[in-house]
Amino acid sequence: MTGFPSAFKGPHYRPGDADYENVKQIWNMRRGDHRPALIVQPLDTGDVVEAVKHANRNDLPIAVRSGGHGIDCAAMPHDALVVDLSRLKGISIDPGTGLTTVDAGVRLGEMDAATQQHGYVVPAGVVTDTGVAGLTLGGGIGHLTRRFGATVDNLRSVDVVTTDGRTLTASADSHPDLFWGLRGAGHNLAIATSFTFQAHRAGPEVMSGLLVYSADDAVPLVSGLDEVMARAPRTLSVALLALSAPPLPGLPPETIGTPVLVALIVYTGPLDEYETAMSGFRALATPLTDLVRPTTWLEANSIVDPFEPPGRRNHLLGGYFPELNAEIARIALARIAAAPASEGGLPSSLITLPILGGALFDHDENSTAFSRTGAAWLYEVSAHWDAPSADGKYSSWVESTMAAFAPYATKNCYVNLTADRGPDWLRGAYGSAAKWDRLVALKQTWDPENLLRYNKNIPSSGE
């Protein structure tokens, strides 16, 4: 192997170096024993080019780390060359147009804080520690999806370094095929270094918080929700969470630790119209406690953070439901009742059902690599724990819960919020066979040697 290029300006780390152990830490510690051979932290695009050229000279595959929040631990694989983009933190916003450009090391909380200074939001995810890059390249969904569509629907261009060391901008007018693939195919085609989005006016004042329902009220609530939300304004978003009740204000003591259904409400319309927007929802069931209140957007988009703490072992699988029904609610509550006992103060096992639809369906399935057919609701089955000895019981619970939901789910899904389930599954995750063939052709064009293989990998051979 040739030496690492002296032209590289940023720090780089090998096993045994000072700070190596800290630098390699990522959100999911299930592969915390992995030790990359070399971690490089570019300070600019030129450094990324030097890293790619080094990989080519030495026939090394590349892993890309932006936020490091992916469930598959692909940001820090064993013995890999990792291009860690976390030092690329530039953010620029045009206050007049809302065009927002962020570098690949920016996290969602940082982007939200910057855009809110000008009264804008970029539709994105719901955990502030998530990297903008990984979220966007996989599609990007969250509390604003129903109002503004997926993150990729609001993406205007991406600056990348290709696997042969070139720099270029992909957009609807420049390399449009690559731009299509970058909007959903993850880190499969090139290394993204910055993103330009069309932000939208929203916040800072919103309504957000939790409504907690008993298990007895969960079925009527879920059974009527599709009809209610079809009439509700797009400014109202809801995510249902089935979990063992944590000690929340207003909950009866006998409820703590029993299965409940929580509705996470985020409303971004005029505050004086909130009750009107919620009228149909309120008619379905009466909550045990109502914790929704006027907040800021920054508060609203961080409510989920405590449920996704860094530094734990995590397993998550998920997909889309085209509709909700009573049986889905019954399954969710039964599976929570069967979940392993919680570790720590918050539930270790969680089933989340965020609403999608709305503006997501304003865009055609074939407009991006990201698949959306039937995506009325997302579902996530997740477990979080600490002891390696508990891997089996938590993973088994996630897998068996997924099997129970399978008859109600679509074959396509959101690749960001599920662990990799193998090549056969991945071919269906993007929707049609024609979309898969298009992605394989793009892989053959932009990464024929599969240099970028630490991901939900689209092989250049198509196999």
Q: How confident is the model at residue 38 (pLDDT cuts 50, 70, 90)?
A: very high
Same domain, 179 and 117: yes
pLDDT of residue 184: 97
pLDDT of residue 291: 98
CATH number (domain holding residue 141)? 3.30.465.10
Residue 266 domain-assigned (yes or no): yes
Same domain, 187 and 226: no
Could you report the per-residue pLDDT of 69-126, keeping only the tens digit for each?
A: 999 999 999 999 999 999 999 999 999 999 999 999 999 999 999 999 999 999 999 9
Q: How confident is the model at residue 348 (pLDDT cuts 50, 70, 90)?
A: confident
Mean pLDDT for the chain?
Answer: 95
pLDDT of residue 344: 62
Domain boundary among 84, 99, 123: 84
Q: Per-residue pLDDT averaged across 298-322, rounded?
A: 94
Same domain, 282 and 393: yes
Residue 452 domain-assigned (yes or no): no
CATH number (domain holding residue 23)? 3.30.43.10
Same domain, 267 and 384: yes
Residue 333 domain-assigned (yes or no): yes
* DSSP-derived secondary structure for 146-163: HHH--GGGGEEEEEEE-T
pLDDT of residue 342: 75
- With b for 16 or more beta-carbon neighbours within 10 A and e for fewer, the 38-54 pattern comes to bbbbbeebebbbbbbbb
Residue 405 domain-assigned (yes or no): yes
Measured CA to CA, the distance from residue 367 to residue 362 in angstroms comes to 10
Same domain, 233 and 248: yes
pLDDT over threshold 60, residue 1: no
pLDDT of residue 5: 87
Helix (H) or strand (E) segment spanning residue 428: helix 423-429
Same domain, 183 and 119: yes
Same domain, 239 and 318: yes
Same domain, 400 and 377: yes
Q: How many domains does the chain have?
A: 3
* DSSP-derived secondary structure for 44-111: SHHHHHHHHHHHHHTT--EEEESS---TT-TTS-TT-EEEE-TT---EEE-TTT-EEEEETT-BHHHH
Cα 328 to Cα 321, 353, 379, 402, distances in angstroms? 10, 10, 10, 11
Check the CA dihedral 231-236-239-244 and report its sign: negative
Residue 429 domain-assigned (yes or no): no
What letter represents residue 333's amino acid? L
**Do you know the residue count of the chain?**
463
Is 361 exposed, middle or buried (CB count within 10 Å of its CB: 0-12, 13-18, 19+)?
middle
Same domain, 161 and 293: no
CATH number (domain holding residue 259)? 3.40.462.20
Contact, 443 vs 451, CB < 8 A?
Answer: no
Q: How confident is the model at residue 345 (pLDDT cuts 50, 70, 90)?
A: low
Same domain, 146 and 270: no
Q: How confident is the model at residue 443 (pLDDT cuts 50, 70, 90)?
A: very high
Helix (H) or strand (E) segment spanning residue 240: strand 236-244
- Domain around 46: 12-84
Residue 459 domain-assigned (yes or no): no
Same domain, 192 and 210: no
> Which range is least confidently modeled, 134-148, 323-337, 448-462?
448-462
pLDDT of residue 126: 97
Residue 431 domain-assigned (yes or no): no
